[in-house]
Amino acid sequence: MGEEEVEGGGASSSDGLAKETSRTSPNPKLTLLPLIALIFYEVSGGPFGVEDSVRAGGGPLLSLLGFLIFPIFWSIPEALVTAELATSYPGNGGYVLWISSAFGPFWGFQEGFWKWFSGVMDNALYPVLFLDYLKHSFPIFNQLAARVPALLGITASLTYLNYRGLHIVGFSAVSLAAFSLLPFAVMVVLAVPRIRPRNWLRVDFGRVDWRGYFNSMFWNLNYWDKASTLAGEVDNPSRTFPRALFGAVVLVVCSYLIPLLAGTGALDSPPSQWSDGYFAEVGFLIGGVWLRGWIQAAAAMSNMGLFEAEMSSDAFQLLGMSEMGMLPSIFASRSKHGTPTISILCSATGVIFLSWMTFQEILEFLNFLYSIGMLLEFAAFLKLRIKKPDLHRPYRVPLETLGATILCLPPTALLVLVMCLASLKTVIVSGTVMAIGFLLYPAIIYSKDRQWVVFQDASDGNGAKPELHKDIEGEEEVGLLSKATSAMPETELAPSTMEELKIE
């Protein structure tokens, strides 16, 4: 780059950049199948936790319809928006980069803080969900005297594995996904002779818990934007990333629908029994003790994978924000295993404090914060379409601005509905988290200006400092993001990102 200002995203500079990236990239790139498996674990991990949708829906009908309809109006639009923005900004900052480019660093920081907090809440679900499966064989885990030490032990051991660098990557994710889904394939085969289709039509609208129903549906079908943190590691992202998202949507929906069709069609269990962990009992009723044990083992492996993937994503998000200059440099410090130690400890502490709550309480809290973040992402998607029509987009949703706006309307309506159905307690807790984020931003700038805390040094070997253009509308403190490229070689930035940067 030298002293040149990078402008546009022309084919010549793009081709040269791609060639240079291929020569200098130290890590092998993700191909289609491993990427599908990784997205699957970011979003789902299997049908563990979907049982509440039957209870809250007053029977199987609304649950089955939900997993058919919701992906069309929610998962597919979110996946399409993620594909366009992630390939346009393929850095590991993911959505923080999108929001910062569209609305400035203040809102980029808020997005990062909300998504980190909702991610920690999401991670707190997995030890709870695992014990809810285990209690069907060991009722002692219904008692706090056994449940609390077990939750602490599970969290501590999985956090240590994360510290040691145990991540779900590549074809190991494919193997883990296959192991998690295999007992349900066996259960479906055993259930087929017993299925009575009329069972699928059962619904008692007088017992429908709409708040619980929408929260369950929403949680089981969201987090597609988490895949954006992988965009920089994808081979030929403009082709591979959209295909992987489509494949993952199909895999996730099938992993929910098929076991639900088998379980609800073969059994006459009342909806009240369908709470998180009930698939273990379904396995027992259909196949016996051995199938229940297999499903519990699959639940353990799946929840371990989900926990590790989520904690890695949350911890490296803090590391990335530190490298952007949004957080003190201590969050970018790494252990001898290459993992962000302080960031992992922060995430683990949040998980421990949240694990005492019930599954449904955690679900509602994280959904509310996630909804706010997603509203900002859809707004950024439309703002960048208008503000930067010539932005280099390796993958572009095949719609013009009006069509893109219409695409965002149904998921936006769902986000607003989920927020409106939240309890007063959830609104107060989420409002408090947002207020903390609003106060943290000026506090960090104040500390940075007075050098009270050490921040990442963005200078390169020649003393040059990359800085975002001052054309970010409505933002004075663009300097907070002046370190955005300190952690990555220039050749790893997409033309869409580089055209916003200039070297002083």
> For position 238, what pLDDT does the model report?
73
Tell me what the mean pLDDT of segment 414-420 comes to.
Answer: 90
Q: How far apart are CA 398 and CA 303, in angstroms?
A: 36
In 3D space, the residue among 402, 115, 118, 82 whose CA is nearest the CA of residue 231 turns out to be 82
Pick the more confident residue, 82 or 476: 82
> For position 150, what pLDDT does the model report?
75
With respect to residue 3, please indicate whether it lies within any of the assigned structural domains.
no
Q: How far apart are CA 263 and CA 184, in angstroms?
A: 10
Q: Which residues pair with 5 in a beta bridge?
A: 502
Structural tokens at position 140: 């002692």
Q: Is 334 helix (H, G, I), strand (E, B) or coil?
A: strand
Q: Is 350 helix (H, G, I), strand (E, B) or coil?
A: helix
Question: Residue for token digits 């809102």?
Answer: 107
Q: Which helix (H) or strand (E) holds 292?
A: helix 289-323
CATH number for the domain spanning 160: value is: 1.20.1740.10
With respect to residue 459, please indicate whether it lies within any of the assigned structural domains.
yes
> For position 375, what pLDDT does the model report?
94
Q: Is 296 helix (H, G, I), strand (E, B) or coil?
A: helix
pLDDT tens per residue across span 246-269: 898 999 999 999 999 999 999 999
Tell me which residue range forms the domain holding 81. 11-503
- The answer to whether the beta carbons of residues 337 and 81 sit under 8 Å apart is no
How do beta strands 501-503 and 466-468 pair? antiparallel
- The answer to whether the beta carbons of residues 251 and 45 sit under 8 Å apart is no
With respect to residue 1, please indicate whether it lies within any of the assigned structural domains.
no
With respect to residue 214, please indicate whether it lies within any of the assigned structural domains.
yes
Q: How far apart are CA 232 and CA 28, in angstroms?
A: 11
pLDDT at 393 over 50: yes
pLDDT tens per residue across span 19-58: 433 344 444 566 788 788 878 877 888 888 888 899 999 9
pLDDT tens per residue across span 344-373: 788 888 777 776 777 777 778 888 988 999
> For position 41, what pLDDT does the model report?
79
The model carries a pTM of: 0.74
Number of folded domains that form the chain: 1
Residue 225 binned pLDDT confidence (cut-offs 50, 70, 90): confident
